[in-house]
Structure 1
Amino acid sequence: MNESALREQICECGRVLYQRGLAPGSSGNISVRLDDGWLLTPTNACLGRLDPARLSRLDANGRLVSGDAPTKEAFLHRAMYEERGGAGAIVHLHSTHAAAVSCMAGLDACDCLPPLTAYYVMKIGRLPLVPYHRPGDPALAEAIRDIAKRHHALLLANHGPVVAGKDLDAAMYAAEELEETAKLFLLLRNVPTSPLNAAQIEELKAAFHLDI
C-alpha cells in the first residue's frame, strides 16, 4: 500500500473508532510505519475528523518532516516500533472500559484481563500493566520498552491501551477486541465466571500458531 493509501486508511480507521465511541474528543492516536519513518495523527486532533494531507510525517528518528505537529505521545509509538520490528501500525486509545480497568486497584501487572474468550486470547494474549506516568512524560517510553519486546498490547495505568499490529487493520481489530473484553470483565465482576483454562489456551496457541 502506498503512502497516499495509508493516509486515507488512517483517516478511515480514525472515523470508525470515533463513531464507535472508542476515541472521544481529541483522545487517542494512530500511526503507521513507513520505510523511512512513520505517519502519525497530529496533536489535539479528533480521530473522527482527520485530514490525510495534515497527518504528521516523521523520519526514522522521530523528527517531523511534514504535516501538523504530532501527538505529544509520539515517543510512545517510536519506542514500540523500535522494540517490535514486525509492527506495521499502532493504535492508542482512551476507550472507556479499558481505561476503567486501568484505574482499578489490585490488577495483576503481568496480565490485567482474564482470558474470557478465545478471540481475546487470539488477538491480545496477555495484557501487562505499565505504571502511571503523566501524559507526555518521555519516561513512559523507557517504561514500556522491556514490555514491548514481549507483548504487542499493553495497558497504561490510569490512561488506556496501546496495541501494535502487523498492519493497521490488525492493530485496530485487536484494540477493539481488548475494549470489548474489558467491558465483559467489568460486567461480570460480581458474577462467577469461567475463563479459558490453560489447556484451552494451549489448544488455541497450537491451532493458530500464537506467540503469547
Structure 2
Amino acid sequence: MSAEIRMRDEIARLSKSLFDRGFSVGSAGNISAAVEDGILMTPTNSCLGFLDPARISKLDRSGRHISGDKPSKEVFLHRAFYETRPQTGAVVHLHSTFATALSCLADTDPDDCIPPLTPYVVMRVGQVRLLPYVKPGDESMGDMIAELGGRYAAVLLANHGPVVTGKDIASAVYAAEELEETAKLLVLLRDAPKRMLSPENVTELKAVFGSY
C-alpha cells in the first residue's frame, strides 16, 4: 500500500471520528494533509463522516486540482499555512461549537483568544489569533493567515470557527480537539473567577515539552 493511499485512509478515519463525536456537522469543515507530491483535501460540500478515500481531492503544491472530487472552497486557508509554516503536515478547519462560540463573543481577546487555562492547550495548540470576519469562501482569509508569517499554529476565524495545524494529520486533529475542549471550559467558566497558568508556567511548559 502506497503512502498516499494510507494517508487517504487516515484522513477518512479521523474525519469520521470528528464527525461521530460532534466536532463537525453536516458538510461543515475541511481537512488537508501533505503528501510527497502535493496536498490531499476533503472535497467541497462533503460530510466528514462519510468520506470515500478514493475521492478525496488532490492538489499540487501551487493549489492546482489534480485528481479526485473538487476540493473545498476554502483551500486558500490551508495553502496559507503550508506556505508560511514549512513544518505543517496537516490542517484542520472545523465549525466546532465552543470554539465558534468564542469567535462570536465581543470580548474575546483577538491576540490571545484561547488563553492558557490548561497545560495541554499550551503544549498542543499554543497562542491563537482571532482573525476578523469575512464571508465564507473569501480568499482574503488566506491573505490574513499569510500575513501572520507563520507565527501561529492555529487561528480562530471570527463568527466562523477554528483552523488548526499540526506536523502530521493526527497531531492536527488532536490539537483541534484540544482547542475545542479548552474553548468549552472557557465558556463554562465564563462568569466565574479563573486561575490561568502564569507566564512562568507557560515558559516552563515550552522549555520542557517544546511548542509546535
TM more than 0.5: yes
Per the alignment, residue 100 of structure 1 pairs with 101
Alignment of 1:150 with 2:151, yes or no, is yes
Distance 1:177 1:148, change over 3 A: farther
User: What SS does the aligned partner of 2:194 have?
Assistant: coil
Indicate conservation of the 8 Å contact 1:13/1:172, yes or no: yes
Residues paired across the two proteins, number: 211
Asked whether 1:117 is paired with 2:118, we answer yes
Per the TM alignment, residue 140 of structure 1 is displaced from its structure 2 partner at its CA by: 1.1
* Pair 1:148–1:46, CA change in 2 (3 A): farther
Matches of 1:210 and 1:55 in 2, distance apart? 30
Q: Is the 8 A contact 1:103 1:157 kept in 2?
A: yes
Match of 1:56 in 2: 57
Shift of 1:209: 2.3
How many angstroms does 1:146 deviate by?
Answer: 2.3
One-letter identity of the residue aligned with 2:139 = P
* Alpha-carbon displacement from aligned partner over 1:77-127 (angstroms, at most 9, x marks no partner): 111111111101110000000001001102211100221100011111111
- Please name the residue that 2:163 is paired with: 162
Give the aligned residue type for 1:189: R
> CA RMSD for the aligned pairs?
1.1
User: 1:11 is matched with which residue?
Assistant: 12
Q: Percent identity?
A: 54
Shift of 1:210: 2.7
TM-score by length of structure 1 reads 0.97
Alignment match, 2:66: 65
TM-score by length of 2: 0.97
Residue pairs, 1:1-212, within 5 angstroms: 2-147=3-148, 149-210=150-211
1:24 CA drift (Å): 0.5
Secondary structure in 2 matching 1:78 = helix
Q: What is the distance in 1 between the residues matched to 2:210 and 2:191?
A: 34
User: What is the one-letter code of the residue matched to 2:190?
Assistant: R
Deviation at 1:176? 0.1
Stretches of structure 1 lacking an aligned partner (at least 5 in a row): none
| SS at 1:149 equivalent | coil
**Which letter maps to 1:146?**
E
* Cα distance between partner residues in 2 of 1:174 and 1:125: 9
> More displaced, 83-92 or 144-153?
144-153
Contact kept in structure 2, 1:128 and 1:147, CA below 8 Å? no
